[in-house]
């Protein structure tokens, strides 16, 4: 950042944010995954994982990215703690059969 940018309080942060948003939009367009579908996936991932561990739901991030290897769905899920372990379904079946 040069002196003029400091004087006028300009930062390159907004440019990088805009670039990331554009990349996300282009990736979503190429994969034909709508923002509604992405939000539905996020909600289903949260519901499934919340059954087993406590997570920081408001800070869960689900994104689609693209690189040379293909498209990726990435979930960043902050873990708060663990939940009480319940008996597994296979364990319950084994007890009923004996």
pLDDT of residue 77: 94
Report the C-alpha gap between 73 and 64 in whole angstroms.
5
pLDDT exceeds cutoff 70 at 90: no
pLDDT exceeds cutoff 70 at 74: yes
The residue ranges of every structural domain in the chain are 3-84
- Average per-residue pLDDT for the chain: 77
Residue 71: which pLDDT band, with cuts at 50, 70 and 90?
confident
DSSP for the chain? --HHHHHTT--THHHHHHHHHHHHHHHHHHHT--HHHHHHHHHHHHHHHHTTEEE-GGG-EEEEEEETTEEEEEEE--EEEEPPPPPPHHHHHHHHH-
């Amino acid at each position: 950042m040069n002196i003029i940018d400091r004087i006028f309080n300009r930062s390159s942060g907004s440019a990088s944010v805009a670039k990331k948003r554009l990349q996300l939009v282009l990736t979503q367009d190429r994969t034909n995954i709508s923002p509604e579908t992405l939000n539905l996936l996020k909600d289903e991932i949260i519901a499934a994982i919340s059954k087993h561990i406590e997570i920081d739901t408001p800070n869960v991030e689900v994104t689609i990215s693209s690189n040379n290897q293909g498209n990726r769905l990435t979930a960043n899920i902050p873990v708060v703690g663990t939940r009480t372990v319940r008996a597994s379904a296979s364990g319950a079946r084994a007890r009923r059969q004996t």
